[in-house]
């Protein structure tokens, strides 16, 4: 009887944990299908689908965040976490986002004679364009002892990744941890991203990387 009770307890506990962990993946897939079905023209029109499936998955969201009442749910955090999932799971949403910010996206020419830095250690920042009229978002980066650390949200959140050099101009970032909702939602421990340096100067270096559906350029500006 005790063995059966323990089995039932573990089944319920593990089932609840799995449900909580999967809820954002589930909502992201449901809302992405909704975006396509409704043919939303802009990311700002995503609200209808998001609210619909947030409501349908409220139990799982409460479990994920350890809440007893849904009115305590931080909808801004929910939205940020879903945006992180869309980066890898929703090509439709990503295409809208790129279209809305393309006038701000800088395309870099590859320097075929680039001399890549021997050591990437140092302090940097990079800018991420936003849709509409918003200013670009600045993210600060420190690379030290093979660890890549980002400070996001004006230094309020962070992400930590291990840096692995592949060759002179290629390196990988291996996700370790983050308390930033978007980054934490987008990646799980061990996820690996490959970057190739295509430009290098005294002031910055430029990389190209591909995440799911899209190639991105990132310019890391050196700071003193």
Q: What's 105-222's CATH class? A: mainly beta
Burial class (CB in 10 A: 0-12, 13-18, 19+), 190: exposed
Average pLDDT over residues 178-187: 94
Rounded to 5 degrees, φ, ψ at 182 are -70, -45
CATH 2.40.128.490 in the chain: give the residue spans: 105-222
pLDDT score for 21: 52
Distance of CA 62 to the CA centre of its chain: 22
SS3 assignment, position 82:
helix
Average pLDDT over residues 173-185: 96
pLDDT score for 174: 98
User: CA-CA distance, 120 to 168, in Å (whole number)?
Assistant: 11
Is a pLDDT exceeding 80 seen at residue 132? Answer: no
Average pLDDT over residues 8-16: 34
Average pLDDT over residues 105-121: 93
Q: Is the dihedral of CA 189, 18, 5, 7 positive or negative?
A: negative
Average pLDDT over residues 3-16: 34
User: CA-CA distance, 164 to 62, in Å (whole number)?
Assistant: 37
Average pLDDT over residues 79-93: 93
pLDDT score for 6: 35
What is the pTM assigned to this prediction? Answer: 0.81
Model pLDDT for residues 204-221, shown as the tens digit of each residue: 999 999 988 788 899 999
Model pLDDT for residues 154-173, shown as the tens digit of each residue: 999 999 999 999 999 999 99
Of 139, 217, 182, 148, the closest CA to residue 28 belongs to 182
State percent of the chain over pLDDT 90.
Answer: 72
């Amino acid at each position: 009887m005790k063995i059966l009770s323990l089995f039932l307890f573990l089944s319920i506990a593990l089932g609840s944990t799995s449900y909580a962990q999967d809820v954002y993946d589930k909502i992201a897939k449901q809302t992405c299908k909704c975006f396509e079905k409704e043919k939303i023209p802009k990311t700002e029109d995503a609200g209808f689908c998001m609210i619909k499936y947030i409501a349908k998955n409220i139990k799982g969201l409460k479990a994920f965040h350890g809440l007893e009442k849904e009115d305590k749910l931080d909808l801004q955090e929910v939205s940020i976490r879903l945006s992180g999932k869309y980066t890898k799971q929703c090509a439709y949403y990503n295409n809208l986002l790129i279209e809305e910010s393309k006038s701000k996206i800088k395309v870099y020419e590859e320097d075929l004679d680039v001399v890549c830095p021997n050591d990437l250690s140092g302090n940097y920042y990079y800018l991420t364009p936003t849709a509409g009229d918003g200013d670009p978002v600045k993210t600060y980066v420190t690379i030290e002892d093979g660890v890549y650390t980002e400070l996001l949200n004006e230094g309020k959140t962070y992400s930590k990744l291990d840096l692995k050099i592949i060759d002179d101009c290629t390196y990988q970032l291996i996700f370790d941890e983050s308390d930033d909702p978007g980054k934490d939602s987008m990646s799980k421990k061990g996820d690996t991203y490959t970057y190739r340096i295509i430009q290098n100067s005294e002031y910055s270096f430029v990389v190209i990387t591909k995440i799911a559906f899209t190639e991105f350029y990132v310019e890391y500006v050196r700071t003193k």
